[in-house]
């Protein structure tokens, strides 16, 4: 089959003696929701960062929509259709929620060498930005400073920013980390509503979230993918149970 959106071959990355990613092969179809799970320090964030272009791999290739994007840096990959949220929320804290999303719109509305017209009164940026805020149910917080949003709201804002770039592939690094039960339920519901129409890679520790959202799951242990499969296959895989799910069975 050749309708792969993402094809990763032999991806490796070391930090000194630590092999954070060890010869990773990874494929994704358009429309798929793929979860990456694994114990702490397994290299999940390192893997995501190499996909987004924040980290340069030591070796291996990343093909995206048939094109080799390995040499591209983060901004160029974002223009190709990658978008990500970070494990530690990364937003523009001193801007309003609406400004944050409007900037995401602007990043994909041609070049920004426009020096005269005020960006904050530009309906071409503000109106779509409002729609994305509504989509993550932050519409009422549009004019709040991002720094003043609650932790859960900030994570929703970050997802809204990622969506506003109309990504072909959304990389979510622990989107429900540090959230209360109610907040995390809201986020899972939001991600569930994206499922199918938005291709996503989801790094997550919350197993309820993972097993309810993912079409396929890859298990990363010590920088290696030890198994890939449907949630049922992963649940039944003895090696996964031993290495990660912590069962003696």
- The residues of the shown chain that bind other proteins, judged by CB under 8 A, are 52, 54, 73-76, 78-79, 83-84, 86, 90-95, 99, 102-104, 106-108, 112-120, 122, 125, 161, 165
Q: Which is nearer to other proteins, 161 or 221 (CB)?
A: 161
Residue 163 is encoded by which pair of tokens?
A: 């969506």
**Are β-strands 18-29 and 4-15 bridged in parallel, bridged antiparallel, or unpaired?**
antiparallel
Shortest CB 32 distance to other proteins, Å: 21
Using the Cα atoms of residue 130, residue 134, residue 138 and residue 141 in order, give the sign of their dihedral: positive
When computed from its CA atoms, the radius of gyration of the chain, rounded to whole angstroms, is 18
- Least spacing, CB of residue 208 vs other proteins, in Å: 28
Min dist CB 161 to other proteins, Å, is 7
Cα–Cα distances (Å) from 182 to 99, 115, 190, 240, in that order, read 26, 43, 12, 29
Smallest distance, other proteins to C-beta of residue 62, A: 16
CA–CA distance, 34 with 29 (Å, rounded to integer): 9
């Amino acid at each position: 089959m050749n309708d792969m959106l993402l094809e990763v071959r032999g991806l490796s990355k070391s930090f000194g003696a630590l092999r954070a990613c060890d010869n990773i092969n990874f494929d994704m179809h358009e429309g798929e929701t793929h979860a990456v799970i694994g114990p702490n320090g397994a290299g999940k964030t390192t893997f995501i960062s190499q996909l987004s272009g924040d980290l340069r791999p030591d070796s291996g290739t990343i093909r995206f929509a048939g094109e080799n994007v390995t040499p591209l840096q983060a901004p160029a990959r974002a223009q190709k259709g990658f978008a990500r949220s970070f494990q530690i929320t990364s937003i523009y804290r001193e801007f309003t929620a609406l400004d944050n999303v409007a900037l995401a719109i602007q990043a994909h509305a041609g070049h920004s060498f426009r020096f005269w017209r005020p960006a904050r009164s530009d309906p071409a940026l503000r109106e779509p930005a409002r729609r994305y805020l509504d989509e993550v149910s932050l519409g009422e917080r549009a004019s709040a400073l991002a720094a003043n949003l609650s932790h859960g709201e900030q994570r929703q804002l970050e997802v809204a920013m990622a969506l506003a770039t109309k990504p072909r592939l959304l990389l979510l690094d622990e989107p429900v980390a540090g959230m209360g039960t109610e907040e995390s339920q809201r986020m899972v519901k939001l991600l569930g509503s994206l499922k199918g129409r938005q291709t996503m890679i989801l790094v997550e520790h919350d197993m309820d979230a993972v097993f309810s959202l993912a079409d396929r799951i890859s298990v990363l242990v010590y920088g290696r993918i030890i198994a890939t499969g449907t949630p049922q296959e992963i649940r039944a895989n003895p090696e996964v149970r031993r290495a990660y799910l912590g069962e003696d069975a």
